[in-house]
Structure 1
């Protein structure tokens, strides 16, 4: 099953996020990500957050989850982060489902449709390697991304593959990737199967055959 884009739901989530974030400056990232999550009809939206972080993106994701009838889960490192996050979301009129723990451990039991990470955190590549994505594929968004460090490079050696990716100069940089549907899991020990060409020659006729295996 492949991801199906719904422009109508995306537009509604975009406008609702504009209204919810109208008091925040530089909320264009939140509006874009919200529209993407809603448009892809994401049922499980996961993000990571720590104290002092901006919550506009979280507001946008919460808005998106209401349009998709899905879950929006935020993973935080400790109780203080949870308290600050929940208070900020409540102030914005949003409910928050929060998990305390190491993100790379917390994502193991989830089948994620939409994952938002911060490239400034050193563990974001480990989170991607441990994450499991739904059978219909998934969308990854990396905030504060540098154009020379792409999500595509992190999938070398994993059982999942990137269908397409794009870097957008929005906010402090967004690296967005669509992960293919089909393969299960994403453990770092799995290896990507690569096709190869085999050349065979019929000794009797001398005819040459090339077979892709």
Structure 2
């Protein structure tokens, strides 16, 4: 089981905030960076149609803390998306390995991608649930991992086949963890949940990770 690293999480969060060069309050990108680094992710795979720079930078910041790799799978049939994404990322493009293809098939069939321990999925992808299924299977077959979907807020679909936690951050996140074994289950394994609180005075959001051996699973 991967041990949570508060130090990695904090450093990645602050680096993502700095790389984003924003003066306003932090958003979903910094949170993604923190949970990827905090879980010591070594192979981070991002599945999307177009690169959102802040989200991609979040994984780059996490990789800097864990000495991991970032692979971005872009949906499409040609390499034009890669060139556009590299241009958008600027000097940070060299920190990401870009490929074009079907994320679901690559996660299922490509041996290298099947070793991913952190998968980030854009829920605006038409086949995002298929990508979730592939990510769930490949991570559970290689020691377990963390799967995060973003842009999930307005997806009025059933997630009953996935044990997920919904976080009202940005455009909505769904988070699920898999463990070794079919279906990502395991008796006696401590489960965690994320709790979001809002400071009534400042309006700031604070996110806490709580681990409990008797945590009830939440399905959405």
Give TM class, smaller chain.
Answer: 0.7 to 0.9
Structure 1 SS opposite 2:148: strand
The residue aligned with 2:131 is: 127
| Structure-2 change in CA distance of 1:126 and 1:84 (3 Å) | same
Instruction: State the distance in 2 between where 1:73 and 1:111 align.
Output: 12
Instruction: State the distance in 2 between where 1:150 and 1:25 align.
Output: 34
The residue aligned with 1:38 is: 37
Instruction: State the distance in 2 between where 1:85 and 1:24 align.
Output: 24
Q: Displacement, 1:88? A: 1.7
Gaps of 5+ in 1: 156-161, 187-191, 193-213
Task: Kindly provide the CA deviation profile for residues 121-157 of structure 1, in whole angstroms up to 9, marking residues without a partner as x.
Answer: 1211111222301533211111111375465x234xx
TM-score, normalisation: structure 1 = 0.73
- Indicate whether 1:60 and 2:63 are aligned: no
The residue aligned with 1:140 is: 147
**1:1-213 mapped onto 2 (5 Å cutoff):** 2-23=1-22, 28-51=27-50, 53-77=51-75, 78-92=78-92, 95-108=95-108, 109=110, 110-131=114-135, 132-133=138-139, 135-146=142-153, 149=157, 151=159, 153-155=160-162, 162=163, 165-179=164-178, 181-183=179-181
| Structure-2 change in CA distance of 1:96 and 1:26 (3 Å) | farther
| Structure-2 change in CA distance of 1:91 and 1:5 (3 Å) | same
Instruction: State the distance in 2 between where 1:84 and 1:38 align.
Output: 27
Q: 2:167 touches 2:173 (CA, 8 Å); kept in 1?
A: yes
Paired residue total: 176
Q: Displacement, 1:26? A: 7.3
Q: 2:146 touches 2:175 (CA, 8 Å); kept in 1?
A: yes
TM-score, normalisation: structure 2 = 0.71
The residue aligned with 2:194 is: none
Structure with max Cα Rg: 1
Instruction: State the distance in 1 between where 2:94 and 2:61 align.
Output: 8
Instruction: State the distance in 1 between where 2:101 and 2:34 align.
Output: 28
Gaps of 5+ in 2: 186-220
Q: Displacement, 1:94? A: 5.3
